[in-house]
Amino acid sequence: MFEIIITIGVVLLLVIIFMLFRIGRIVGIIKGSDKQLVSGSNQVNAVLFLVFLLVFGGLFVWYSYAHFDSYNLPVASEHGVVTDRLFWITTAVTGVVFFITQFLLFTFPLRYQYRDDRKAHFYPDNHKLEIAWTVVPAIVLAGLVTSGLMVWSDITDTAPEDSEVVEIMGHQFAWKVRYPGKDNKMGGFDYRLTMDDNPMGVDFSDQNSFDDFSAGQIYLPVNKNVKFQIRARDVLHSVYLPHFRQKMDAVPGMPTTFWFKPTKTTEQMRQETGNAEFNYELACTEICGNGHFSMRMMVIVVEEAEYNEWKAKQESMIQKDPGLLKYVSQNLQEVAMIKSGLESAPTNTEQDKSEEPDSSM
C-alpha cells in the first residue's frame, strides 16, 4: 500500500514537472524569446558563475582551513617530512594558479556577457604573450621537477648497510612478516616450498633461515633505518604505511624493497595525536580480491633498546614448530637445532662452517 502511494506521488510529480516544462515552452514561443540567440537567461547564467565562484571558493577555503587536522595525516618518518614539504610547496604553487585561473574563468562571464551594441575584440594571437605563458610554466615545473628528482633519488637509493631488515609477504588476504634472527641474515625462500606449516616458503636448507622468526605484528626501532623486503605469494599487493609515507607493491616473482627511518614511537604518536588508542597500520593498496579492504597489520614503533629486548625474546620458526626440522637436510639437523635455539650451543662451532648447504635456489 505504502509503495503504491509513493509510486503515485512520484508519477504525479513527474506529470507536474512535465506540465511546467510545457507551459514554459509555450510562454517562450509566445514571447518569441526562444527564437533569439540571447535571452534574459544569459545574464542569469553569468551571475550564477560568479555565485558559484564565491560559494565554492568559500567552501573550499573554509573546509581546507577548519578541517586541516582531519585530513592532514601526521607524519612519522624522515623522508615523509621531506615529501610532505614537497607536497605543500606544490600545493602552494598550483593553488595560486588555481585561484587566478578560476577567478578569471568565472568572472569573465559577467564582465563580457553578450550585448547587442558591443562587438567582441578581434584578437587572434599575440606571440609574446604565448611565449611568456609557455616559458613561465616550464620554468616553474623545472623547479618542481628538480626538487622532486633529488628527493626521489634519495628515497630510492640503496638502503644503508646497518638497516634493520624485515621481510613482508602479502597473500590473500593477510601479511606475513619475517625477521632475520640473531645472525641478521635472512634465509632464502622459494614459493615451491610453501606448505601449510611453512606459509612463507622459507628455504630451511639455508642455514641463515634457522634462526629466522616470524611475527604477528611489525616491530620497528625508532630513529634507525628499516629496510622492507617485500614480496607476494599469489597476486599483486601493495605495502602501505600511511604515517610513514611508505608504499611499495608486492609482486609475485619480483621481490621489491623500500627503506625509511621511523622518527616517532607509537607512544610519542599517541601523545601527539591525543589518541590513546593510536596505532600505526599496514594496509594493502593494490586491488587483490574480495578481502582487499581487510589486509591490516599493526605496526609498533619502540625505542631501540626495547626493540632489541623484544627481538631477543622471539622464538625462531623452528623453535616454535620443531616439525619444520623435517625440511632441514640430515647433516644440518644439529646445526639447525642449535641455531634455532632448540638446543643450547656446544663449545665447538667449527663444524657447521665446513658444511656448505646446497641452497642455491
> 128-134 long-range CB contacts below 8 Å, 24 or more apart?
none
Sign of the alpha-carbon dihedral angle for 339, 343, 346, 350: negative
Nearer Cβ to another protein, position 54 or 345?
54
Q: Which stretch binds another protein (CB under 8 A): 92-100, 301-309, 328-336, 342-350?
A: 92-100
* Cα–Cα distance, 315 to 340 (Å, whole number): 8
User: Cell for 226?
Assistant: 628499516
Site string for another protein, 21-60 (x = CB under 8 A): x--xx--xx----x--xxx-xx-xxx-xx--x---x---x
The alpha helices in 32-77, defined as continuous H runs, are: 41-66, 68-71
Q: Which of residues 268-297 bind another protein (CB under 8 A)?
A: 277-279, 281, 283-294, 296
Q: How far is the CB of 183 from another protein (least distance, A)?
A: 25
Beta strands across the sheet bearing 246-250: 218-221, 297-302, 280-284, 237-241, 246-250
In angstroms, give the least distance from the CB of 214 to another protein. 16
Which of 12, 58, 63, 351 touches another protein (CB under 8 A)? 63
Q: Near another protein by CB under 8 A, which window of 126-134, 208-216, 300-308, 323-331? A: 126-134
Reported as type and span, the H/E element at residue 147 is helix 127-155
Residues 159-188 that bind another protein (CB under 8 A): 171-172
Residue 75 or 317: the one with the smaller Cβ distance to another protein is 75
Pick 28 or 322: Cβ nearer another protein: 28
Report in angstroms how near the CB of residue 356 gets to another protein at its nearest: 25
Q: How far apart, in whole angstroms, are the C-alpha atoms of residue 98 and residue 121?
A: 26
Determine which residue in the list 176, 178, 243, 261 makes contact with another protein, applying CB under 8 A. Answer: 243
User: Between the CA atoms of 277, 283, 288 and 291, what dihedral angle is there, to the nearest 10 degrees?
Assistant: 0
- Is 115 among the residues that bind another protein (CB under 8 A)? yes
